[in-house]
Chain A
Amino acid sequence: MNKGIAITGMGIISAIGNNVAENHASLINGRKGISRISKIDTIHKDAIMVGEIDFTNQELEGHLGLSPENNYCRTAMLGAIAAKQAVAEANIHDINAHKTGLVSATSVGGMDMTEKYFYDYIEQDTHRKYIEAHHAGDSTQKIAEQLGIEQSLVTTISTACSSAANSIMLGARLIKSGKLDRVIVGGADCLSKFTINGFKTLMILSDTYNTPFDENRKGLNLGEAAAFLVLESETLVKAGNKKVLSYLKGYGNANDAYHQTASSENGDGATLAMEKALRIANINPREIDYINAHGTATANNDLSEGRAFIRVFGENNVPDFSSTKAYTGHTLAAAGSIEAVYSILALQNNTIYPNLNFKTQMKEFQLRPQTELKEKELNTVLSNSLGFGGNCSTLIFSKNA
């Protein structure tokens, strides 16, 4: 039997809350964080809805106590806030006391500043400090700095919408192979004009609330968020007599190798990822009590993912599933860690969070997501994250090691 990796802390900031407790409250109260965009001036503001975090950049700088000379992009600040919460919950006081690494994920990185100052950089020197903050790795370096991680393994993954699931997966493998004793894993992405316009050109942005797995779904809402988990080795957990929130039991990444952006119609990649994760966890599909679906509410994703569910579980045996993207929007590279936090909350509270906004079953199959808050004994939860470039990832969380 494969041993799970202990999760001892988690932190999150999203459109439905600035910490784990607030996110949980919104989830159980069906309170979505989707609204018209307020912090980015875009011509699409009346045509799209987003999951925006309330804090302005200035407020975030205040929270982190950054000096006025700082060159943190929004992604770095969101990431630092969530990562600090995770470390605090794990009760870590001397972060360098054990081999501690950081694996973050982002797709936007410092694009929010780059798009603001693209031409300004050339004209004047006022904002040039942000030039170095553009590349994806910089946001992770900043998060490490905020956590006080030094002389250690700090890296960044960017595989589009599956990025944070992949950073969690890598973290688990680094602990398993003995490279690290503990690792902070997750992802962060802020909203940017770049991504808004990018998704707009793909014509997959809904002009209203996103409706995952609904026959009449019109596309996704973009969101911004960050979430991190602390993973620790068995030895550290035992030595510190630490409280374990849940265990990462299985993980799998596979490539659809079908199309640059679209998922294959029969969900090859997602099927392979789920099968791999089940194999690593060494459990039977029947043992999955709940699936936190990727469910972006695009025509393509929900069909492909639904078909993959049927292939893995059988049409009549698909476990209860829901997509929480109706709450947060699609938070891109952060989504995998946001939904990891929600999966762990589900286990801790024996609660399935509803798939909001669902009305009509899709005609291609007999699958209906869980649309009401449901309390039931949960032992094992599966979470999917599927991205551009055919990148498909699955994580399995469990109450028991």
Chain B
Amino acid sequence: MKKVYINGVGSISTQRTFDNKAFLEEVIVYEDNVITVVDPNYKDYIPPAAARRMAKGIKMGMVASKIALADSGLENVDAVITGTGLGCTIDSEKFLGKLIDNKEEYLTPTSFIQSTHNTVAGQIALGLGCKGYNFTYVHASISFESALLDALSQLQNDEENNILIGGIDESGEQTIKIHKLIHHVKKEAVKSTELLNSGTEGAIFSEGANFFVLSNKKQQNSYAEIIATETFNTLSKENLPLAITSFLKENKMDIADIDTLILGNNGDISYDPYYHILSEGSFKNTQQLYYKHLCGEFFTATSFGFWLASKLLKTQTVPEVVKLNDLNNNGIGTVLLYNQYRGENHSFTLFQKC
């Protein structure tokens, strides 16, 4: 089995992450219950003729993928694999809204075409002229990990050499509105620095696109080695610690080998206890980090966690703002990322310094 490396990253998030030279030196603090990304100048990346039909999520995905590709120094890749929990929500809502409002008359195709879940992956392939493997996963909070798992196995088995993977989700107005009704979105505005102390149910809804070039060839500027990822449709709090130890064991490691744990706490009082099991239990002596106060919650938010892990391992620095406890390491060697959303679709991802 070949080793797999992260050779390029591109992030569009609610922080100014699209500039790869920076690493959370300046952090935007929000006080809201829905937050939106810091837009790069999309026109710098996408020609107007191509951009004219693209809703925000598609633009985010296109640009994040271009940044990642440029960062890797490659011109093209062998395959494109994306994950998106909700797909192109803005176009779906637009088409459906018009369909209902106009009683099925005078509908035009553009928003329907763009609403297809694989629009971003298809557009990237079209832009690059990449005729290779092209998949899109749409499974809630493990959409990104499914893409990662797929890419990892192809690279480990040397079926492909360079694969572009990414997670994208955009905020649609109606989607936000109805998720407020069922309290998946927090009722109140929460200051991002106080997210974990909100004491209320729901999350701060958000959006973002994080892309990576994975390769089975190490290069000088590689960020990290990615060892494994695993996903679970269901997992109880009681079984979580055991699931982690078996995952680590399969990768010939145990808890003591993990020096940094990155958790997906989103301040939802009903589901953060999953993370507490680890932070107060088997990992209480491990350096712990969190990130959803920076990027908000969306189905592919773990792709931001993946970006964070990549940056940590490459720069060997831990920004103050992501620290969940006071433990410090001498350097960062092995990182574990754990996430779940509303108690379902759990994922573990394991990284190593390279």
Contact = CB atoms under 8 A, between A and B. Distances in A.
Establish whether A and B are touching in the complex (CB under 8 Å): yes
Main secondary structure of the interface of A (DSSP, over half): mixed
A334 to B, nearest CB: 15
Contact of A261 (B100, B113, B135, B233): B113
A390 B153 contact: no
A154 B134 contact: no
A136 B134 CA distance: 18
B134 A260 contact: no
Classify chain B: how many residues form its interface, as a range: 35 or more
Interface string B84-117: 0111000010011101100111011100110111
Nearest to B146: A155
A131 B100 CA distance: 17
A198 B87 contact: no
Interface string B123-140: 101101111111111111
Interface stretch (A10-18, A58-66, A248-256): A248-256
B348 interface: no
A197 B113 contact: no
A22 interface: no
B116 A255 contact: no
A153 B128 CA distance: 31
B140 A137 contact: yes
Interface stretch (A30-38, A75-83, A118-126, A235-243): A118-126
B234 interface: yes
Interface in A134-191: 134-138, 140-141, 144, 149-160, 166, 170, 173-174, 177, 179
A128 B96 contact: no
A169 to B, nearest CB: 9
A136 B234 contact: no
A375 to B, nearest CB: 37
Contacts of A390: 122, 125-126, 134
B221 interface: no
Given A135-B85, A160-B118, A177-B157, A128 B150 contact: no
Contacts of A137: 85, 138-140, 142-143, 345
**Of A141, A152, A179, A201, which is in contact with the most chain B CB atoms at under 10 Å from its CB?**
A201
A121 B233 contact: no
A255 B134 CA distance: 6
B282 interface: no
A150 B243 CA distance: 12
Contact of A257 (B86, B105, B125, B344): B125
Given A115-B100, A128-B181, A272-B131, A135 B299 contact: yes
Given A115-B99, A131-B179, A198 B118 contact: no
B160 to A, nearest CB: 12
A174 B97 CA distance: 39
A106 to B, nearest CB: 8
A154 to B, nearest CB: 4
A365 interface: no
6 contacts: A111-B92, A159-B134, A198-B95, A198-B109, A254-B132, A256-B131
Interface of B: 80, 85-87, 92, 95-97, 99-100, 103-105, 107-109, 112-113, 115-119, 121-123, 125-126, 128-140, 142-143, 146, 149-150, 153, 156-157, 174, 177-179, 181-182, 184, 230-235, 239, 243, 299, 344-345
